[in-house]
Structures are given as structure tokens and as C-alpha cells.
Amino acid sequence: MNHAIPFDTLAFVKELEGAGVPPAQAEAQVKVLATVMRQMDARMDDFTAKRDKQTAEKFDTLADRNEQQVKSRLNGLATSQELAVVEANLRKDMAAIEANLKRDIKELDTKMETRLKEMELRMVIKMGAMFLAAFGLLRLWPIPVQYVPPIPAVQEMRLPTPPPAPPVSPSPR
């Protein structure tokens, strides 16, 4: 790659001579400047070539690594026949597990029903015992008679005694 910057040496010499630089000195300066520019251009070309080479190597390395990863992933994939066999085996296993679960659920249901019946029977027995105990205790205690609260003491009012009645005389007849 050539990154050369266009440089008009004749125009540069005339510019220097116009500024009062002697022609021999102006030509010498132009030669030195042109040499420096060629060296810079060569270094840029070298640098660019190195960078391009390193980039290409990195891309090649990445491409190789990616290719290896893809190959390893493809090798890990099963064929459709293998997948069909695995699927069939999984279906058989799932059916067996489902049957076992149904059987276990039925057993648990039966056990729960039995336990509930036993609990119900125990509750009936306990309630009966409680009723008998309650009625037995009632027999031990006398049945209370109706309670009448005492009347508060009331002050008696005494009326004056009536005067004696006049004697009744026998009437003539």
C-alpha cells in the first residue's frame, strides 16, 4: 500500500527561494524533506502490512476455533433415528411412572377412607361416653326446686282498732 502524500518539490523550492533562501540550500532542504517523507511512507506501509497480517491471523484463529466448536456441536447431535429410540424409551418410562402414581394414589385413598371411618367410630364412642357421664352426674345431684327469693322485710302498717259496735237491743214485736 502506498500512502504517499503528493509533494511538489519544484513548487517548494520556488517558495523557499521567494522567501530569500539561497537556491542550493532550498534544493538541499527539499531533498531531505522528500527523503523523510519516503521513509515515513515506507514505515506506514510496513506498519499497515503488519497490522493486516495480525488481523488476518486473528480472523483465521477465530475461524478455526468457530469451526471446531461447530464440528463438536454437530458431533454431539443425535440422528433422527437415535432421537426416535430415545423418545420411545422416554414414553415407556413415563407410562410406567404414571401407572405407579395411579396405584399409589388409590392406595392412599383407601387408607384415608379407612382412617376416616375409624376416626368417626372413635368420635361416636367418645360422644356416647360423654353423654353417659353427663347423665350419670345428673343422677347424683338432686333436681333443684324452683328458687323463690326471700321477700324483703316490709314495715307493717297498723290500723287503729275500730270502736266497739253498740249493743243491739231486741226489738219489740
The backbone region for 163, taken as left when phi is positive above 0, alpha when psi lies in -120 to 50, beta otherwise, is beta
Q: How far apart are CA 173 and CA 168, in angstroms?
A: 15
Average pLDDT, the chain: 81
Angle at CA 2, nearest 5°, toward 42 and 30?
Answer: 60
Residue 1 has pLDDT above 60, yes or no: no
Mean pLDDT of 136-153: 67
- Which residues 6+ apart lie within 8 Å of 44 measured at CB? 3
* Cα 36–chain centre separation: 68
Q: Which carries the bigger pLDDT value, residue 6 or residue 105?
A: 105
114 vs 150, higher pLDDT: 114
Q: Which is higher by pLDDT, 159 or 91?
A: 91
Least confident span in 31-35, 124-128, 148-152: 148-152
pLDDT > 70 in the chain, percent: 83
Taking only the tens place, the pLDDT of each residue in 40-79 is 888 888 888 888 888 888 888 888 888 888 877 777 666 7
Highest-pLDDT range among 12-16, 28-32, 117-121: 117-121
